[in-house]
Chains A and B, each alone.
Chain A
Amino acid sequence: MPEPLLELRGLFATLGNTCILHGVDLTLASGCLAVVGRNGVGKSTLCRSIMGLVPDVTGRLRLAGQELLGRPPHEMEGQGVAIVPQGRRTFPSLTVHEHLRLAQKSKAKAWTIERVYQTFPRLAERRRNRGTQLSGGEQQMLAIGRALLRNPRLLILDEPSEGLSPLVVEQLSALMQQLYRSEGMTLLLVEQNFRVAVSVAERVAVMISGRIVHEDEASSFASDHEAHERFLGLGEAA
Chain B
Amino acid sequence: MLKLAVLSLLNGISVAALYFIVASGFTVTFGLMRTINLAYGSLFLIGGYVGYQVGDLTRNWYLAMIAGSAIAGLSGAVLQWGVLDRLRGQDMRQALVTIGLSIVAADVLLAVFGGLTYQFTPPDWMQATVSLGVFGGYPAFRLLLIALSLFIGVFIWAGLTCTRVGLAIRAGVDDREMLSAIGVNPSRLFVIVATCGSALAGLAGVIGGTALSISPGEDSRYLLASLVVTIVGGMGSIAGAAVGALLVGLLEQVGLLYFPNYSIVAVYLVMVGVLALRPQGLVRGTA
Contact = CB atoms under 8 A, between A and B. Distances in A.
Interface of A: 51-53, 72-74, 76-78, 82-83, 85, 89, 91-94, 98-99, 101-103, 105, 131, 146-147, 150
A53 to B, nearest CB: 6
A141 to B, nearest CB: 16
Q: Among A78, A91, A103, which residue has the most Cβ atoms of chain B within 10 A? A: A91
B181 A83 contact: yes
26 contacts: A53-B181, A72-B180, A73-B177, A74-B180, A74-B181, A74-B183, A74-B184, A74-B186, A77-B183, A78-B183, A82-B182, A83-B181, A91-B171, A91-B174, A93-B170, A93-B173, A93-B285, A94-B167, A94-B171, A98-B167, A99-B171, A101-B167, A102-B168, A146-B182, A150-B182, A150-B183
B108 interface: no
B178 A94 contact: no
Contacts of A101: 164, 167
Nearest to A85: B178
Interface string B176-192: 01111111111000000
B8 interface: no
A9 B142 CA distance: 67
A78 B175 CA distance: 19
Report, nearest first, the 4 A-B pairs whose CB atoms are least far apart: A73-B180, A77-B183, A102-B167, A91-B174
Interface of B: 164, 167-168, 170-171, 173-175, 177-186, 285-286
A53 B177 contact: yes
Contacts of B175: 89, 91
A197 B23 CA distance: 53
Contacts of A150: 182-183
Contacts of A103: 182
Given A72-B180, A93-B174, 20 more contacts: A52-B180, A73-B180, A74-B180, A74-B181, A77-B183, A82-B181, A82-B182, A85-B181, A89-B175, A91-B178, A91-B179, A93-B171, A93-B285, A94-B174, A101-B167, A102-B171, A102-B182, A103-B182, A146-B182, A150-B183
Contacts of B167: 94, 98, 101-102
Contacts of A72: 180, 185
Contacts of B173: 93
A92 B285 CA distance: 11
Contacts of A73: 177, 180-181
Contacts of B177: 53, 73, 89
Contacts of A82: 181-182
Contacts of A51: 181
A78 B181 CA distance: 9
Contacts of A83: 181
B286 A93 contact: yes
Nearest to B174: A91
Nearest to A51: B181
Contacts of A99: 171
